[in-house]
Amino acid sequence: MKALVTGAAGFIGSHLCERLINDGHAVTGIDAFTDSYPREIKERNLATLRQHDRFTLREGALADADWGRLLDGVAWVFHLAAQAGVRKSWGRDFSVYTVNNVEATQILLEACKGRPIERLVYASSSSVYGDDVPMPMREDALPQPVSPYGVTKLAAEQLCHLYHVNYAVPAVSMRYFTVYGPRQRPDMGFHRFFTAAMRDEPITVFGDGRQTRDFTFVSDAVAATVSASTMGKPGAVYNIGGGSRVELLNVFELIRQVTGRAPRLNTTEPQPGDMRNTCADTARARADLGFTPTVTLEQGLRAQFQWMTEACVF
């Protein structure tokens, strides 16, 4: 089969491309190489993919893409390109998020109208829920995001829904819960925590450390995403969580066990837009996608630490 992956040079996108290539498919990746973090990191993510003759990379923004050529013969579209990060999405930077998360998604959906694709799988986020939904979070809960980033991810979800209802675009949305693992972006929590521990630098903890997250290892998120391309119900939304909901303070204890170094913590006020807790009800993904996470938090942290050590991050 032929697949198209937006955000192919990113953390999850590069893993997804490798999985598709290893499964025998041909992949065209698109990436704009925005300056959200250094290009050299994204190029390193692509190193293995560039060795495969079934992988092609197209550099550029989705707004400038030649969709007639790119979508020719494509069965699956995986839309992972986005401006990530909750804390940077306020104020003047909000327009960056609306352009890259909302407008780019609308452009892609327009391009997919009337084309015989089997699925368009959109990478959404647990950030759409906010703090006022029951735990565990179910897909039918009323989403009330507490960050501009979450608003843009929810808006793109709604675009996927309306293009499905009105134009039969077979869109499926995946609400990822705190994905981590090898190639995690340098601005993300575990990457920063490991780096600080190994450099004996203090870690800033926003809040009391009792906030919880449902952590999902990247290979589990990718497996669910691939399953959605064949088994996901068009128009549906799926929670993808790793089943590892723990307090942040417990994460620091695991980091101590993995690295042999005790993190030094500096606590400060919570940041606007940070959710207090996340926990995914994954019953729908289990039923429709056969999704079962396989990597425990400790196993995943050890894998990420090994990758960071080999990549000479510290």
Give dist(CA 203, CA 37) in Å, integer. 20
**If 0-12 CB within 10 Å is exposed, 13-18 middle and 19+ buried, where does residue 113 land?**
exposed
Q: Of 305, 293, 225, whose CA–CA distance to 260 is shortest?
A: 305
Give dist(CA 302, CA 254) in Å, integer. 9
Active-site residue (options: 149, 163, 176, 180): 149
Q: CA-CA distances (angstroms) from residue 209 to 59, 157, 252, 284?
A: 40, 30, 10, 30
Q: Is 192 helix (H, G, I), strand (E, B) or coil?
A: helix
Instruction: Give the 3-state secondary structure percentages of the chain, helix then strand then coil, rounded to 5.
Output: 40, 20, 40
Q: Is 196 helix (H, G, I), strand (E, B) or coil?
A: helix
Give dist(CA 180, CA 12) in Å, integer. 9
Residue 273, token pair as written in the block: 């837009």
Q: Is 6 helix (H, G, I), strand (E, B) or coil?
A: strand
Q: What are phi and psi of 258, to 5 degrees?
A: -70, -45
Tell me whether residue 149 is one of the annotated catalytic residues: yes
**103 DSSP assignment:** I
At which residue do the structure tokens 């989403």 appear?
143
Q: What are phi and psi of 260, to 5 degrees?
A: 80, 10
| Residues 6 or more apart whose Cβ sits within 8 Å of residue 172 | 119, 120, 121, 122, 160, 228, 229, 232, 233, 234, 235, 236, 237, 238
Q: Of 118, 119, 116, whose CA–CA distance to 172 is shortest?
A: 119
Catalytic positions are 149
